[in-house]
Structures are given as C-alpha cells and as structure tokens.
Chains A and B, each alone.
Chain A
C-alpha cells in the first residue's frame, strides 16, 4: 500500500517537474512567442514520441488505440455532416441587403480558417473567426448568431472544412497591444481557477492522454485545429466558445461570456502555439 502511494507521489512530482519546465521557458524576462511555440511543441513531442506533429490535431483519438479505431469508423460517416451541409447553405445565403459572408472575408471566406484568430490593428483587439462572423452579420444589418452552437457552429464548420489540411498560421504583428493580448491569453491558460483549482494546462498540458472518468484528455497542442466539434456528449455541434465555457464549468469556475476579451486572448495564444499544425475541423469528439 505504501509502495503504491510512494510511486504515485513520484509520478506526480515528475509530472510537475516536466510541467514546470514548460513554464520556466515561458516565463523568460521578455515575452518571446517564437520561443514559447518551440518549447510548447517540444514538450508534447517529447511526451508522446510516437506521435507525428500533425497527429496531435486529432485530440483524444491520437492518444488511445481503441478510440482511434472507433473514430476511423466514425469518420466514414461523420456526425458533423448535417452541420456541414447546413453551414454551406447558410454561408451562401444572401443577407437582406443582397450581400453574403463572402463579401466580409478575404478570399471570399474560403480556405481562411487557419489565419484566425487574427490581431486587428484598427479595432485594437484579437478577432476570432466567430467574432468576425458576427461582425459581418451586424455590419450588414443581420441578427448575430449565438456564439456557442447552432448556426455559428455550422458556418464555422463549413469554413474550417474549406481549410482542412492548411497549417495554422497565426501572426503576432509588431504591435505592443498584440503582444499584450498574447501574454494575457497565456496567463489565462496557466492560471488556476474554480473550486477544483484547475488551470487549462492542468488537464491539457500536464496529463493529456490520461483519463477523467471515461474521457481521454486531449493535448493542448492542436486542440483548436479541430474546432468546431461535434461532441457526442453534447449530441450536437459546439464552437471554441462552447468548449471554453464548458471547460470552465467543469472545473467549477464561473465561465466568462463567450468572446470575452480573455477568451479571445486565450484562443490567440493557444492557436499561435499550434502554428504549423493542420486544420482538421470540423472534428468529432466523444
């Protein structure tokens, strides 16, 4: 009994040490996103030496052989198909003023998912794809979508689908506000909160591949590449906003409003450190 206990403790200490290594390199004197990215990706490739970098975008499926098999079968008949069809229809449907989503986005909105979130110098803030979709609607006198599911998830699912395979290409422009947003997102990611005292990193950096009850935790690397996702748990589609708010409630913290500054900054940081990994959205998750 004591032996088991001790080995458990050693395991925990080791995990904490490796975890700390990521943070120390992160906590250099001045913010250095490229160094963060390198350290972040190295941490995961060292932790899972058998996985190729692009495998990380498949979250829990890359971690567990049984789940992988189930997923391969599911991919022949993906549960997000209906959302994809609905999204394509919504995307091409003209607004009341005759314009469409294509008029709001570069390259008519096709194959651009990998560039979002982006730092908008005019607005002085991080603009996520979801925010851009709603800004497009509002600028054209339409009612904005709910940030968490339904139409928003369908439209972003379609947009992500047209970007499949393209590597994440998040840029941090030479603007102190952009760097501040990045740093703020990073801080949010590593800050513990809620009754359970978990940070985002607790589950998705420290112990990905392990189980929480029957769920296999996804690695933080590549986690946003699959957004939006169909979750069997939700019996439907959800956006990055939905994932963030539900993560916060699961650790018994009070979730922020979807597309809050902090959430957008978090998405900015988390997307940036996954630069180079391909878009795999829309994804399916247990």
Chain B
C-alpha cells in the first residue's frame, strides 16, 4: 500500500518551504450516506512535522478540515538533504508516517 502522505520540501537559504498532501476521508460525522445513515466521524486529530527530532509544525485538526487535506508552511533552519518526518494520528487510532528528504 502506497503511503497516504505526499510531501515536497524545498530549502532556499534559511527557510524551508513544505507542501504536503494527505489522503484521508476526514468524515465529520454530520454527513449522511445515500441510505440516510450518518457516516461516523473519522478525522485526523494531530498532524506533526519533525525536523532533527524536534517538531517544526503541529496541527490539531478536527472535523471541519476537508477530505484529502493539503498543508503548506515554511520554517527556518532546515538544510538540504535533511530528513523531515511527517506523521498523523486520527480519532480511530490509525496513523501513518513518512520521512522526506529536503531538496
């Protein structure tokens, strides 16, 4: 199974720009399916980006974030070739992580 996380991190000088796309249904728990039953909530609760063992970006998410979320941010101190670790944890306890090289 391919990873649910796609990342592109590029360093230019002292800032590193990160873009990430995560595959997740992000069901809010307020939507009904075609049979009229509520689709149970299923969403990412925490998303973490770590560089050099330290978190550089943490997002506490809830049901309001849309399906297959996309994140873009930048941080200082990233170096070309460094490892950026991304992980998420959802309300059902599922998780995934991925390590990307900074370009």
Interface residues of A (CB under 8 A from B): 76-77, 79, 81-82, 85-86, 89, 235-236
Binds A, one of B33-41, B62-70, B73-81, B83-91: B62-70
- Residues of A near B68 (CB, < 8 A) are 79, 82, 235
Choose among A85, A86, A89, A235 the residue that contacts B66 (Cβ–Cβ < 8 A): A235
Cross-chain contact of A77 among B2, B8, B23, B66 (Cβ < 8 A): B8
User: In the complex, which residue of chain B has the Cβ closest to the Cβ of A235?
Assistant: B67
**B6 CB-CB contact with A under 8 Å:** yes
Q: How far is the CB of B26 from chain A (nearest CB, A)?
A: 9
With a CB–CB cut-off of 8 A, which chain B residues contact A236?
A: 67
Residues of A within 8 A of B70 (CB): 77, 79
Is B58 interfacial (CB-CB < 8 Å)?
no
| Bound: A281/B31 CA distance, A | 31
Q: Identify the closest chain A residue to B7 (Cβ).
A: A77
Whether A77 pairs with B67 at a CB distance below 8 angstroms is no
Q: Tell whether, in the assembled complex, residue B2 and residue A79 are in contact, meaning their CB atoms are under 8 Å apart.
A: no
Which residue of chain A has its CB nearest to the CB of B6?
A81
What's the least CB distance linking A221 to chain B, in Å? Answer: 30
Measured between beta carbons, the chain A residues less than 8 angstroms from B66 are: 235
Subset of 10 A-B contacts with CB under 8 Å: A76-B8, A77-B70, A81-B6, A82-B2, A82-B23, A82-B68, A85-B2, A86-B2, A235-B66, A235-B67
B59, CB-defined interface residue at 8 Å: no
Chain B contacts for A85, CB-based, 8 A? 2
Whether, in the assembled complex, B19 has its beta carbon less than 8 Å from a beta carbon of chain A, the answer is yes
Contacts of A82 in B (CB 8 A): 2, 6, 21, 23, 68
Q: Is the CB of A79 within 8 A of B8?
A: no
Separation of A76 and B23 alpha carbons in the complex (Å): 16
Bound-state Cα–Cα, A235 to B31, Å: 14
Say how far B57's CB is from chain A's closest CB, in angstroms. Answer: 17
With CB as the reference atom, state the residue of chain B lying closest to A230.
B68
A89/B2 in contact, CB under 8 A: yes
Within the assembled complex, what's the spacing in Å between the Cα atoms of A77 and B8? 8
**Residue of A77, A79, A86, A236 ringed by the most chain B CB atoms within 10 A:** A77
Q: How far is the CB of A238 from chain B (nearest CB, A)?
A: 14
Bound CA–CA A251/B67 (angstroms): 27
Cβ contacts under 8 Å, B19 to chain A: 76-77
